[in-house]
Structure 1
Amino acid sequence: MSPTLVPASARSRQVASPLKAAAALLGLGVLVSPSAARAQLHADASAQVGVEKRFLGGRAAGVSDADPGVRAELRGHLAAFPFVRVGAYGAFAFAPQAGSGRTLGSLGLHARAISPLPRTERFSVWLSVGAGYARALSTPAGSGGFLEIPVGIGAGYKLRRPVSLFADLQSTFGAAHHGAAYATGAGKDTVALAFALGVLVDF
């Protein structure tokens, strides 16, 4: 029995078909990949302002504690993992105190872990933690600085994509105080408790 001969044109079509399919898949991948990358890249920025009470430790007799004051804060994050965002923060705080009051500025790293439950299309809850350096720009005793660790819990409600309103409850712990502001008996910013309202924008 003689072998069946396949015309050259048919063989060309048989070879070309898989090549065309591969080229089509490659082209589709090139078009889809940037869109997928953009979809996976999430970021947010927020601004908040609220009331903060600083508790001064190690005060000498006659040195008054700080009264409730104001704290304003800016934050920005990038998505690192699902439900986890990392970034930075900057804050300014003023607390009335006998004399000139206490004015502080701080910068540091910040992370936010969004809880999967309870979570809806509009409502979300998260925990946050940071590590930074705070500078006491002016206090009754002078200036100085310390390391701070803010820890908080927040809840947000999405008004309209991409804008959310949120509430934030935060405790800030201070350590390694130095400078004239924290001389013996002047009082150290050991703990602060703040409640703030803010606006968050998702990108």
Structure 2
Amino acid sequence: MKTLYPHAFRMVAAVGLILAAGASTGYAAMSATAVTDLNVRAGPGPQYPVVALATRGSTTVLEGCIEGSLWCRVNAGGVSGWAYAKYLSADAGGSTVVISERRAELGIPVVTYEATGSVAAMPAEPLELIGPVDEVQPIAPPPTVQTYITSNPVEPVYLEGEVVLGATLPNTVAVRQIPDYEYEYVVVNGQPVLVEPATRRIVYIYR
């Protein structure tokens, strides 16, 4: 997957070791649905590179979640990685529930992750992308916008959570203006995004 800022990802992708803890050998794989276009990352955190994209409404295989974390191991289209549980849903007795809210009820097994390489450091107390995610009107930025962003790189900020359409940036995150354009930009968790100034919502993600 290409990014506008390859230099922002000078890191060794940590493949890690996934160890199922407490899951019986008879556990049947659970399906989870992406409630929005959702990154699948190489490790359990926004500082890890994106390895796949689970499109809105697509089904992934849910392998388990880390205890006390919002990151879960999934398989999306044959690619294994980690996705943010607030944007995954599953069926619970005929009702659709968000995985991060009903893990115990769903009986999701616990997995662990052991990093085997170095990644970009997260702040000690990272800010969080504010939710819930709202529906946003799709936009189609002209190519000149991407050219301007590429020519005027900014340092990325790392926020707890995932970069999704409709997520709102904390007020303390600085954004940059684009000449003669209604939206502003910033690089969040390694991905350039366009932001609506009035609401600070993410309205476009460069993948």
Q: When the two structures are superposed, what TM-score results if normalisation uses the length of structure 2?
A: 0.26
Report which of the two structures shows the higher radius of gyration computed on alpha carbons: 1
More strand by share: 1
Q: When the two structures are superposed, what TM-score results if normalisation uses the length of structure 1?
A: 0.26
More helix by share: 1
